A and B are shown apart, each in its own frame.
Chain A
Amino acid sequence: MTATTTGAGEAVLAHGVAGGAGAGAGGVVEATLTVPAATVTALIGPVGAGKTALLRMLAGRARAEAGDIRIAGEDPATDPAAVRAAVGWVPEQPGSWGAATCRRALTLTGLAHDQRAAAARERAAAVLDAVGLADVADRPARSLARVHRARLALAVALMGDPPVVMLDAPAADLDPRGRDDLRRILRGLAKAGTAVLISARDPDEVDEMIDDAVYIADGSTLDEQGTLRALDPRSRYLVESLDDGAVRALLDASHVDYEPVRDGVILRLDDADEAAQALAWLVRNGVPVHRFGLAGASGRAVPDGGSGS
């Protein structure tokens, strides 16, 4: 993971985007992110954080209620058709093309992109190779394994030769082998200049395939610092106690930096030694700690929006 690079050639620009059902219900409150061309960026957040809603707005599939979006230079508010043409969209649930073969499904999609029949066939063959479906290209789509069905969905999205590809939770239930294949495919796309935006619940799912990450929780994206904090699980310890007030009072009094979250507070501790010392110190000061451990990147690490800082 590297810091967000800014500059020319940004395929996805979003600023202050809001829309959807609302905070906590999968809606987006305030999302700002940038995806440069030729990179893979992950949108990471827990269930209900607004990942899918944000992707849908960026892809020109749902209307944003506020904010600015530019996809390959096009504005979905005024020209949604151009945005859709620029985006390869891979939904979370791959659909079934039924009795049609993979090759047929792709050729038909090519025709739907206004390609000529010969061009569509050629591109279908190339895309089948690219996503590793060449072996099953002439089997009916309904007979495909789940993993292959997901790849067919990606192949369909690539038929229009889009400069931006968005995948909703592509690594969610892949095994390590499947993730490795996905990594190769996505890295290949990025290498060829495509901007790739994927969503994930857990950074571990996508760690090795991304250049950059944006953390989203309760409908808001965190800035670079926030994302780094949210996604670096190594030094974050979650302290859960029977009396949160007492913990916060003690920490405030002792001028210790902490991050209030829903279930307690998060302390940044450098290593196991420091953690042991901190726990001993808390107990010595009479804090009724009942749980103490690594916070991880998701779940309970959601920033406490209401009573925060």
Chain B
Amino acid sequence: MTLVDQNPAPSAAPDPASSPRPRVKGNPWLPTPSGVWLVTGIELRRRRPTVKGWIFYGLLLAAILGLGILLAVVSGDEKTSMPMELVLVLVLGAGMLIAPSLAATSINGDSSEGVLAPLQMTRLTAGDLALGKLIASWVIAFAVLLTMTPFLVYAFTRSGWHWDELLTVIGVILLVVLTSTAIGLAWSSLAARAVASVSLAHLTTGALLLGTLLAFVFVQPLVSETVKDTSSYVDYEALTEEQLYAYENWDWSEVDPATLPCVTSQDQWEYPVAHTEQIAWLLLANPVVLIGESSPIISYDTWEEDGRAAPGLFAEIHRAVSDARIGPSEADLAGQQYDECAMLVAEANGERYDDGWEDQQEVNSVYPRAPWIGLGVQVLLLIGSLWIVIARLRVPYKKLRQGTRVA
């Protein structure tokens, strides 16, 4: 059985059915839509799940639907954004864990290198390969989102959000996942071994999530100024008999609390107040903060009148970040923390002592959103990572990768 002689297929004769191929000049690298689409298809077909994979996926879907039904049954009728925020956090979390893992093995994996080399010999450009692999890994985040759709639709109807707000947040989540995926792909093109690139991809994601928060905390001493405690208290020593009696028995029938002698604490201790408005950009670079900053503003005062649910996780993130962005108030910088005399007066008059905290909450909650720094960081990382991947996938290589035998 002479295999070749039976069939003259690999012949030099022009293939009659093949399309006329224009000559390629130079060494193009720009991605083309058809090339990207083809590479995405190749990657997805190579990775099509096995039966076990589908069973796992089915179980996951059942668990999510079960959870959704359970939540619908046990929760009351009032509006709540909690279930929807849960879904969005799950999509973000699963996307940021799974998609970079897949991407981080898609260039340097043992099985990938031997497939990459023949594809580099075709008309596909480095840009086609990079974007195709990026999208093929990113699609997993879409799959998670689609799996969650039934639950998400139900959760949305109770959340008090508007459609456009939900779509904006989903768009931002998908962008964050896309960037993490691109970072994983970049590590895959840089590191020789898959173990290294997967670890580095997750470390980078972790640095963005936790590192920005830690940096925000540790940088605070650098932007702090020292203030003296100027809290004032009732001057116990200077009280008259009458006043002392009234003060100790909390009986203000005879004594006007406004007449009590007040004193600023004697041994004034010093403490730092951080100018967080100078370093709030560190928080804004955080992907989760970015999602908080992309979600709708929900007033802590008027949410009910506005037809919203009570402020949830994202509104709380926005409030806390706004607090950091606004920075310390005049009173904070003056060292005022507590005024016992004013509190006594207020209580005696049947009012609540107002230290401005609740006003501040409300101001923070409706402070304008600031998603642009976070979006900028994501887009920069995305473009930078893709640039690395394309540079590394371009043949001819200028030099060999160290420590590997590349085909």
Q: Which residues of A contact B (CB under 8 A)?
A: 20-21, 37, 52-53, 56-57, 59-63, 76, 78-82, 84-85, 87-100, 104, 108-109, 111-116, 118-119, 122-123, 126-127, 129-132, 153, 156-158, 160-161, 163, 168, 181, 184-185, 187-189, 191-194
Q: Which residue on chain B has the smallest CB distance to residue A25?
A: B400
B114 and A153 contacting across the interface, CB-CB below 8 Å: yes
Prevailing SS type, chain B contact patch: loop
**B75: CB under 8 A from chain A?**
no
Say which residue of B46, B112, B113, B116 sits within 8 Å of A100 (CB atoms): B46
**Min CB–CB distance B34 → chain A (angstroms):** 9
**Min CB–CB distance A100 → chain B (angstroms):** 4
B2 and A157 contacting across the interface, CB-CB below 8 Å: no
Give complex CA distance A160, B43 in Å: 20
Quick one: which of B56-80 are within 8 Å of A by CB?
Answer: none
B407 and A130 contacting across the interface, CB-CB below 8 Å: no
Give complex CA distance A90, B114 in Å: 9
B118 and A153 contacting across the interface, CB-CB below 8 Å: yes
Residues of A close to B17: CB separation below 8 A: 115-116, 118-119, 122-123
Give complex CA distance A248, B41 in Å: 65
Say which residue of B2, B18, B395 sits within 8 Å of A80 (CB atoms): B395
B48 and A95 contacting across the interface, CB-CB below 8 Å: no
Residues of B close to A82: CB separation below 8 A: 23-25
Q: Which residue on chain B has the smallest CB distance to residue A76?
A: B396
Closest 7 CB pairs of A and B: A188-B4, A95-B114, A91-B407, A126-B9, A95-B115, A98-B46, A119-B17
A91 and B114 contacting across the interface, CB-CB below 8 Å: yes
Give complex CA distance A9, B339 in Å: 98
A116 and B38 contacting across the interface, CB-CB below 8 Å: no
B3 and A63 contacting across the interface, CB-CB below 8 Å: no
Quick one: which of B158-181 are within 8 Å of A by CB?
Answer: none
Residues of B close to A116: CB separation below 8 A: 17-19
**B52: CB under 8 A from chain A?**
no
Give complex CA distance A191, B396 in Å: 30
7 examples of A-B residue contacts, CB within 8 angstroms: A61-B396, A82-B25, A91-B114, A97-B46, A97-B115, A160-B121, A161-B18
Q: Which residue on chain B has the smallest CB distance to residue A97?
A: B46
**B272: CB under 8 A from chain A?**
no
Give complex CA distance A115, B124 in Å: 12
Say which residue of B11, B15, B21, B118 sits within 8 Å of A193 (CB atoms): B11
B118 and A189 contacting across the interface, CB-CB below 8 Å: no
Count, chain B residues at interface, CB 8 A = 57
B121 and A192 contacting across the interface, CB-CB below 8 Å: no
Residues of A close to B28: CB separation below 8 A: 81
A89 and B117 contacting across the interface, CB-CB below 8 Å: yes
Give complex CA distance A84, B396 in Å: 9
Interface 1/0s, chain B 1-31, versus A by CB < 8 A? 0111111111111110111010111111000
Say which residue of B8, B48, B119, B396 sits within 8 Å of A63 (CB atoms): B396
**B352: CB under 8 A from chain A?**
no
B18 and A123 contacting across the interface, CB-CB below 8 Å: yes
Give complex CA distance A114, B35 in Å: 9
B120 and A99 contacting across the interface, CB-CB below 8 Å: no
Say which residue of A96, A126, A188 sits within 8 Å of B111 (CB atoms): A96
Residues of B close to A62: CB separation below 8 A: 395-397, 399-400
Q: Which residue on chain B has the smallest CB distance to residue A19?
A: B399
Give complex CA distance A66, B392 in Å: 22
B15 and A98 contacting across the interface, CB-CB below 8 Å: no
Give complex CA distance A248, B42 in Å: 61
Residues of B close to A87: CB separation below 8 A: 121
B4 and A112 contacting across the interface, CB-CB below 8 Å: no
Q: Which residue on chain B has the smallest CB distance to residue A123?
A: B15
Give complex CA distance A179, B38 in Å: 35
* Residue from A20, A56, A153, A188 having most chain B Cβ neighbours under 10 A: A188
Give complex CA distance A81, B22 in Å: 12
B12 and A96 contacting across the interface, CB-CB below 8 Å: no
Interface 1/0s, chain B 33-49, versus A by CB < 8 A? 00100100110011111
Could you list 15 further interchain pairs (A-B, Cβ under 8 angstroms) beyond the known A80-B396, A97-B46?
A60-B395, A61-B120, A80-B27, A82-B23, A82-B25, A112-B42, A113-B21, A113-B123, A119-B15, A123-B17, A131-B3, A132-B3, A160-B122, A188-B10, A192-B13
A187 and B10 contacting across the interface, CB-CB below 8 Å: no
Give complex CA distance A22, B270 in Å: 67
Residues of B close to A115: CB separation below 8 A: 15, 17-19
Say which residue of A61, A104, A114, A168 sits within 8 Å of B397 (CB atoms): A61
* Residue from A57, A87, A94 having most chain B Cβ neighbours under 10 A: A94
A95 and B117 contacting across the interface, CB-CB below 8 Å: yes
Given contacts A79-B26, A161-B18, A192-B10, contact A85 B123 (CB under 8 A): yes
A112 and B119 contacting across the interface, CB-CB below 8 Å: yes
Say which residue of A100, A113, A114 sits within 8 Å of B45 (CB atoms): A100
Quick one: which of B377-407 are within 8 Å of A by CB?
Answer: 395-400, 405, 407
**Min CB–CB distance B314 → chain A (angstroms):** 39
**B50: CB under 8 A from chain A?**
yes
A123 and B9 contacting across the interface, CB-CB below 8 Å: yes
Quick one: which of B85-128 are within 8 Å of A by CB?
Answer: 110-124
